[in-house]
Amino acid sequence: MAITLQESLRGLFYAPFYAALARDAYAQEGVEVAFVSAPTPGHAATNVMGGAADVCWGGPMRVMQTYHQMRDCDLVCFGEVVTRDPFLLVGRTPRPDFTVRDLPGLRVGTVSEVPTPWMCLQHDLRLAGVDPARITRVADRSMADNCAALAAGDLDVVQVFEPFVSSLVAAGTGHVWYAAASRGPTSYTTFYARRGVLTDRRDELLRMVRAIKNTLAWVATADGAEIAATVASYFPAVPADILTAACTRYKALEIWGKTPVLPRAGYDRLRDSLVSGGFVDPGTPFEVAVDNSLAEAAL
């Protein structure tokens, strides 16, 4: 029986997951995978808890959120792919000397689609000595709407992921001010499943992690154009030059891990952000939410 593998949302920063599908990495490891999409990001973890999907790729944020909300939660992260924050701040004018301390007084469009980007940015602000409440923030618009508002001069800076970043830069209406990846490890995307699935289907999941390990090794040697061409079928509306620029930027920012081992430092950085932003309390300990044994076996 195939492993039902669910994406939480369609995002270019998930490129290695799409590359694994496009390159038949799972079949090469002898495991059958049925790929599905969650109806919304918020349904991703509950689908796994309810059995609609065996494995999801998504943020440890969703795992911690589910532990916070459901007493019977037993979700476990077991293979990391996106090891740094893929969101960037793009401003209307060049600011080569920008730091997050400069955000007060500016009109800032933050991500509304998912909570993690703002949770991480507000923690950056706290660590920089800035109260997030001082930010003039538009928090209820989509990234696409914020990009339009930036171009129209209604916002000074927007928080977005690729390919919005490269599209704004190519159009001359945006300039990169800050890459959240520069803060260092912040665990952003892993495989996760219920603990019983890790036990009952361990051999298949080990093969999946081996497939991702091999894909990450390929990503490490491929250039942005090769990665873009490989995943292009999953982003048919994105022009090839924008897709290439976006993948090149993400590779340069080292958002994709070299191995599927999830480091404690990246998990704890994410947990600290979610706690300081009031999203979870006290947050799920690393030992409860992470199992690196499959990743270590794959290596």
Q: What pLDDT digit, counting tens, does each position of 89-106 carry?
A: 999 999 999 999 999 999
Q: What is the count of structural domains for the chain?
A: 2
Determine the average pLDDT of the residues in 40-44: 91
214 & 292 share domain: yes
Read off the pLDDT of residues 73-87 as tens digits, 9 standing for 90 and up. 999 999 999 999 999
Q: Is the domain of 106 the same as that of 130?
A: yes
Q: What CATH code is carried by the domain that includes residue 68?
A: 3.40.190.10
CA distance 88 to 166: 11
Q: Are residues 107 and 12 in the same domain?
A: no
pLDDT bucket at 286, cuts 50 / 70 / 90: very high
Mean of pLDDT values over 270-289? 96
Domain that holds residue 137: 88-183
pLDDT digit string, tens, across residues 217-253:
999 999 999 999 999 999 999 999 999 999 999 999 9
Amino acid at 99: T
What's the CA dihedral at 123, 125, 128, 133 to 10 degrees? -120
Q: Spell out where 1-104 has E strands.
A: 3-7, 33-37, 55-58, 75-82, 88-91
Residues 106 and 80 in one domain: no
Indicate if 205 and 293 belong to the same structural domain.
yes
Q: Residues 77, 191: one domain?
A: yes
- Same-domain status, 228 and 290: yes
Mean pLDDT, rounded, of the chain: 97
